[in-house]
């Protein structure tokens, strides 16, 4: 198996894994925000503890923080599926992408990596702020099951928030790792194309030299 085929196989494998872990990002976050927390985003939520040891939320976190994680998860899934189909097409027909195609893929991969990094930092830090509030009365990972803590918050179901946000963080950081690897593979492929172009130019100069039509440049 040639280097090009190995590289393409690595890319396909990484994209398949990205499409799987994307579900760990948008699915639990969507369930948490739009379902169990009634449209409220717990990231960076501010509040206090009442005299009866109940949690009082003064302001929920910005909805954009949760929506961004959902959006980036959906984008990661769609881009991964698109790339899997594109690479499968090249494998089936034994072709390869053009330089423009490889460069475009590299740009998309870098953008996805940056967006995933931003979302991972946002979710991790936002959940840390939430847990700082919850830890004042109970351990954050189990507080959702202590019903008397949530008497002031009507219409929400806090039982599974720790599991859901844990899945989101796991999915985002895993996606970030995978897309970083994919970006590196894109750089390798770009370097491969550049090397191939350099070899073609060298062979062309050698052919012209043998034919007596090659002029040495002045610089």
Query: What is the residue-wise DSSP string for 134-152?
Result: HTTTS-TTTGGG-GGGGTT
- 53 within 8 A of 137, measured Cβ to Cβ: yes
pLDDT digits (tens, 9 = 90+) for 163-198: 999 999 999 999 999 999 999 998 888 888 766 655
Task: State the Cα–Cα distance between residues 15 and 10, nearest whole angstrom.
Answer: 9
pLDDT digits (tens, 9 = 90+) for 47-80: 998 878 889 999 999 999 999 999 999 999 999 9
Packing angle of the helix pair 161-211, 99-134 (nearest 10 deg): 160
- Environment class of residue 157 by beta-carbon count within 10 Å: exposed (0-12), middle (13-18) or buried (19+)? middle
């Amino acid at each position: 198996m040639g280097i090009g085929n190995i590289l393409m196989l690595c890319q396909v494998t990484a994209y398949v894994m990205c499409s799987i872990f994307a579900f760990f990002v948008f699915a639990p976050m969507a369930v948490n925000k739009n379902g169990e927390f009634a449209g409220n985003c717990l990231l960076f939520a501010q509040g206090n503890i009442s005299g009866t040891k109940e949690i009082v939320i003064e302001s929920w976190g910005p909805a954009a923080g949760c929506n961004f994680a959902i959006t980036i998860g959906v984008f990661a899934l769609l881009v991964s599926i698109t790339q899997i189909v594109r690479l499968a097409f090249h494998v089936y027909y034994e072709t390869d992408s053009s330089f423009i195609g490889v460069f475009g893929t590299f740009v998309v991969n870098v953008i996805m990596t940056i967006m995933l990094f931003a979302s991972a930092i946002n979710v991790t830090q936002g959940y840390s702020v939430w847990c700082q509030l919850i830890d004042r009365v109970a351990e954050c990972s189990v507080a959702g099951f202590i019903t008397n803590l949530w008497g002031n918050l009507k219409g929400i179901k806090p039982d599974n928030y720790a599991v859901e946000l844990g899945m989101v963080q796991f999915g985002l950081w895993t996606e970030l790792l995978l897309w970083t690897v994919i970006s590196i593979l894109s750089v390798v492929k770009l370097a491969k194309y550049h090397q191939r172009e350099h070899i073609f130019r060298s062979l062309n100069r050698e052919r012209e030299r043998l034919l007596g039509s090659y002029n040495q440049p002045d610089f």
